[in-house]
Every structure is written in structure tokens, then in C-alpha cells.
Structure 1
Amino acid sequence: MEYKDYYQTLGVAKTASEDEIKKAYRKLVRKYHPDVSKEADAQKKTQELNEAYGVLGDAEKRAAYDDLGRGQQFRAGQEFRPPPGWGAGGGRPGAGGFGGGADPSDFFSDLFANFGNGGGRRRQAYQPQKGDDTHASITIDLTDSYTGATRKISLMVAERDEHDRIHTRERTLSVNIPKGVTAGQQLRLTGQGQNGEAGPGDLYLEIQFSANARYRIDGRDVYQTVPVAPWEMALGGEIEVTTPSGKVNVTVPAGSQTGRKLRLRGRGIPGKEAGDLYLLLEVALPPATTDKAKELYQQMARDMAFNPRAGG
């Protein structure tokens, strides 16, 4: 079994403080993380760093490791065997695991096989953490929810470089908007959050609909204002309406007034249970901008003698 010089692995002196050891480890594990490093042996190097910090980052393990090497000149790669009885109860106990989730080397396993049996308290070794989740919002048109869409968004993200300095940069992402999303719903983009030593966090995008005076949205139900001519309101008839899901023909009942509501079942926002579309009729008066139009309005006023405020 080859001796491992954990101080050499982390590039620190044997007199390094706890903070110096942690800083060196974090710098190196970011550099060699398999998700970002182009080094051919990045995975192996990361495991070696995790093992070294699993010992030097724990006060009792480090003390045991230092005691074993005190007075002896062990070198990395040198043939090594733990002394008889090491870790069996008479000497310092060893350690039963290290941060990082990878399998320990034979050196670590043999050296610390019985650690923890001595009953002493020990601090848990530092575990690499995933990056923070990021939250943002994305504004889409109502029609995007009916059909699904792809949209590009730009985000400013903070990143640490190998010198532990924070920088911000703009990131552009292409986001798939699934059919049937509703306002307030969150889309989770796995691995698109802040970077961390154990990988990036996730990005959560909250759906918002762009403002449109024609539509009002309530869950999956949609309320749409539809302008209707006075004679269409009075006489009734079939009209063509452009809705978020396409053009439809609807019948306006004779004698309709502004505010009348027509319900189209299942034509709201799609889903396992699709919402409904409510058409709110609103009379739209033709402008009196020509002599002919003014004459027609005057004739209506004479012939119909209509007073909308009567009885008010």
C-alpha cells in the first residue's frame, strides 16, 4: 500500500490552519470538478481531493494522521503499512468515511478502518454543496399557453473563479413553454441555477402573462371582451370571433346588451381539465364622421325615440 501525503494533495503546509486547508480544498475541487474541468483525470483528482480533505478537514482524523507520521519521513507513493494495533483501541482511532461520496483509497481504508469505535466526538467533514437555486419570472402571451412555445431569456448570474472571486455574466437560455401553463406556475430547469462545488442548483421560472385589455384570466378560465355592432346586438345573428385557440363562429342572441356572457366550454387554457372561455359582449358604436352617418343617427333618434335613462 502506498503512503498518501494529504498535505501535498491539497498543496498546503503541515502547519496550515483549518481555514487555509478549507480554502485550498475549495479552490482545487472547483478547478477539477468533472462538470467543468477538461483534465483527463478530473474524476480521479476530485476523489483524491475529497479524501485528503476528509482527513485534514476533521480535527481528530488530522491529529491521528499527524501522530502516525510524527518522527517518520513518509513520502507520497512510498510503501506503507499501519503499525500493529493501529485503530484497534490502543492507539488513536481512525475515521470511517470522508466527504465527496466516492470510495476511499486502500490507504485511507486501512489507516482508518476502526475509527469511531473509541467513543470520541468528531466533527463531520466538510461536504461539497450544490449551488443555490435561482428564481426568476418569464412573461408570455396567452396564446403561448394554448399551443406551447419556445422563448429565449437572459439572466445575470454570479460565478466564482478559481481565485474565489465573484463575477457576474449574462446567460441566454432557450426555454420550452409547455402547453397548458398557467399564471403563477413555476417551470423547473434542472442544473441551470448557480454553480457550486457539487454541481449547479436549479432555475425556477414563474409564468406571467403579458397584459392584454381584451383578456382576463382566472385559473384556466379566460374572459374575452368581444365588440359587437348595435344591429348585431339588437337583431342577433352569427359573428366570427378570433379567440386564443383560433377563430370560432358564435351566435349572438337577439336583444343582447353590453355585458352579456357567452360560454364556450373547454376553450379556456388547456389541461387535464381544460378551462372555459367566456365571451363578454360589448356594443361598439360606428363613428359619426360623415354626413351620411350623422343623418342615420338623426333618423334613429327621431324614429326610435329611445331614452336609455328613462326610469333611472
Structure 2
Amino acid sequence: MEFKDYYKILGIVENADASAIKASYRKLARKYHPDVSKEANAEQQFKEVGEAYTVLKDPEKRAEYDVLRKQGSRRADGGFQPPPDWQSAHTGQRSHSQSSNADYSDFFDSIFGSSGGGFRQADDFQRSAANQRGRDIHHRIALFLEEAHLGCQRQLSLRVSEPDQNGFIRQRDKTLNVKIPAGVIQGQHIRLAGQGEAGVGGGKAGDLLLEIEFAPHPYFAVDGKNILLTLPITCWEAALGTSVEAPTLNGKVKLKIPKGATSGNKLRIKGKGLVGKTSEVAGDQIVTLQVSLPKTHSSNAEALYQQLAECESEFNPRHVFER
């Protein structure tokens, strides 16, 4: 099997902390998201980044991976040999989030939950559990906020296990067209009945569980059902008050800036957040104001600032430091 250097994939150092791991993942997930990236291998890169993050964000998996990475050996043909008597704590215990599918490489499956070689004879299954229901497959799907808010159609490629005509369990790639309903939220699961792995001995097929995650957005953030936005305004807009355009998931709206606004003031736009579920009231958009100044000023502007300083000479914002 080919060794996967998860630190190199995420572009981080070995002693990177959790925040650095998450920040790198968010940046690369945005870069290689198949819907926006123009890279020729964007989909594969996106999957590798997700796999690396799955391991390194989990302290137990990361510790086990670090041991394997340091003690294993890489062969001349590019393969990888685990250390002698290597035994993963996860071997044979593939969890729901680690089902063998297109998200994970053979390296990941062999270390964190492979069923062992990709096939077993059908009578092995029959001896252990006749009429056994197939495994559920858990699959993460990254959406832009606009897609989550309005709903969308997605095509998924998965790898599932099923018996062939000779009774051997083998891997098969399949493609599904999935409708994502409007109003899904981070962490929500969508169940597609019968789209998981095939059952054994006449058992029903498992289900496909899609876990929703949000791809990083250039200017929006999410807090539950609320959308967060930092909105730059000029110092004169803050001092005099005005109305400005602010972006929302439904397009631009007019937002009233109160007279005397300062950086850090928060304004609420009701009903412009995420729906959550179709039966629930939508969240709000929380706008944090950030007063911005030009990097350079004209001579006329500097003269006006000088006049302002003279007119407001008694104002001292640092009076709290005086004793």
C-alpha cells in the first residue's frame, strides 16, 4: 500500500495544534472543492484533504498514526511496510464514519478499519450471521452556505461492498444523484434507505447517511442557524449614520447604521439566517461593524481631520487609563 503523509497533505508541521490543523483544512477544502476549483485533480485532492483531517483532528487516531509514521519503513517501489507485529487498535472495528467508500484510501482502510483485503467468501458471512442487514455507509458532503440555504442537486460517487456471482464480497463503484433539501444545517444527517452495503443471506441493504458540513465561505460564518458577517464602514458613516448595502444569503439588503456607531457594534437582520428545518423559523444575520480608514489621505482630508481634532479636543477615548 502507498503511505499517506497526512501532515504533508495538509501542509502543516508535525507538532501543529488543533487550531492550525482546522485552519489548514478549511483553507484547502475551499481551494479544492470540486464545485469551484479549476485544478485538474481537485476531487482527489479534496478527498485526500478530508482523509488527512479525519485522522489528525482525532487525538487517538493521530497518536496511532504518528507511531506508524515513525516506525514503519518505505520500500524502494514506493510501498509502505508497517513495523513488526503492528496491530492497530482500530483494525477490524470500522466505525460508521469509516465505512469503506470513495472518501478513504486503501492506506486509511488498512490502518483504521479495513475488513481485510477487500473480500471474504460468502459462507464466512453465512456462518457468522445469516440474513444479516448490510452496513450503513456514512459519507460527508461539503456544501456552500447558499446550497444549504436554497437546496441543490449533487452527484456522489461511492464504493460499496457486495457479493458477486461467485459469492465473494467485492468493492463496486456506484454513482447517485442526490437532492439536498433547502435548510440543511451543519452536522445534519440525510438518510437514503437501501443505498448502503448489500445484505447477506437475503438481508436488507444498509442505508447511506450523508453528513452535512459547510465549506468555508469568503465572508460569512455560521453560529447555529445564525449567519455572521463583519461589515466594514467608513468613519464618517459611523459618525453621521447612514444606510448601506449588506450581503445576505438572499441577496443584498439595506442596513441602517446608527449615528455614532463604533467597531464591534452588532446589528441584527431578522430572518436572514438559515432555516434549520422546514418547520422552523429562520435564524438571523448578525452584522458586526468594523470602522475602516483609508490608508492614505488627500491634503484636504487631512485639513478636515485637523479641524475635527480641534473641535473635539475635549474628547479623550483613553480616559479609562487615567488615575
**TM score, norm. by length of structure 2:** 0.53
Offset, 1:24: 10
Offset, 1:300: 4.3
Bigger radius of gyration: 1
1:217 lines up with 2:222 in the alignment: yes
Partner of 2:213: 208
Q: Quick one: distance in 2 between partners of 1:25 and 1:274? A: 48
Partner of 1:142: 145
Q: Quick one: distance in 2 between partners of 1:152 and 1:186? A: 17
**TM score, norm. by length of structure 1:** 0.54
Partner of 1:132: 135
Q: Write out aligned runs for 1:148-297 (5 A).
A: 148-197=151-200, 198-212=203-217, 214-270=219-275, 271=277, 272-288=280-296, 293-297=297-301
Partner of 1:23: 123
Partner of 1:7: none
* Secondary structure in 2 matching 1:143: helix
Considering fraction of residues, name the structure with more helix: 2
* Secondary structure in 2 matching 1:254: coil
Q: Which residue of 292, 298, 302 maps to 2:306?
A: 302
* Secondary structure in 2 matching 1:231: helix
Partner of 1:46: none
Q: Quick one: distance in 1 between partners of 2:246 and 2:124? A: 67
Offset, 1:296: 4.5
Q: Quick one: distance in 1 between partners of 2:154 and 2:316? A: 49
Q: Quick one: distance in 2 between partners of 1:267 and 1:216? A: 13
Supply the RMSD in Å over aligned alpha carbons.
2.9
Q: Quick one: distance in 2 between partners of 1:308 and 1:201? A: 68
- Residues 258/196 of structure 1: CA separation in 2 closer, same or farther (3 Å cut): same
Q: Quick one: distance in 1 between partners of 2:237 and 2:256? A: 10
Q: Quick one: distance in 2 between partners of 1:301 and 1:206? A: 54
Structure 1, unaligned runs of 5 or more:
1-21, 27-56, 58-124
- Residues 163/214 of structure 1: CA separation in 2 closer, same or farther (3 Å cut): same
What amino acid sits opposite 2:155 in the alignment?
K
- Residues 294/201 of structure 1: CA separation in 2 closer, same or farther (3 Å cut): same
Offset, 1:308: 7.7
- Residues 295/284 of structure 1: CA separation in 2 closer, same or farther (3 Å cut): same
Partner of 1:29: none
Please list the CA deviations of residues 207-264 of structure 1 after superposition, one character each: whole Å capped at 9, or x if unmatched: 1111125223222122222222222112111111120122211111011111111112
Partner of 1:72: none
- Of stretches 139-148 and 125-134 in structure 1, the one that deviates more from structure 2 is 125-134
Q: Quick one: distance in 1 between partners of 2:306 and 2:129? A: 90
Offset, 1:297: 4.8
Offset, 1:309: 6.1
Q: Quick one: distance in 1 between partners of 2:304 and 2:158? A: 59
* Secondary structure in 2 matching 1:206: strand
Q: Quick one: distance in 1 between partners of 2:291 and 2:168? A: 63
Offset, 1:266: 1.9
What amino acid sits opposite 1:268 in the alignment?
G
- Residues 232/165 of structure 1: CA separation in 2 closer, same or farther (3 Å cut): same
Offset, 1:145: 2.4
Q: Quick one: distance in 1 between partners of 2:253 and 2:182? A: 20
Matched-pair identity in %: 35
Offset, 1:184: 0.7
What amino acid sits opposite 1:304 in the alignment?
L
- Residues 230/126 of structure 1: CA separation in 2 closer, same or farther (3 Å cut): closer
- Of stretches 183-192 and 295-304 in structure 1, the one that deviates more from structure 2 is 295-304
What amino acid sits opposite 2:292 in the alignment?
A
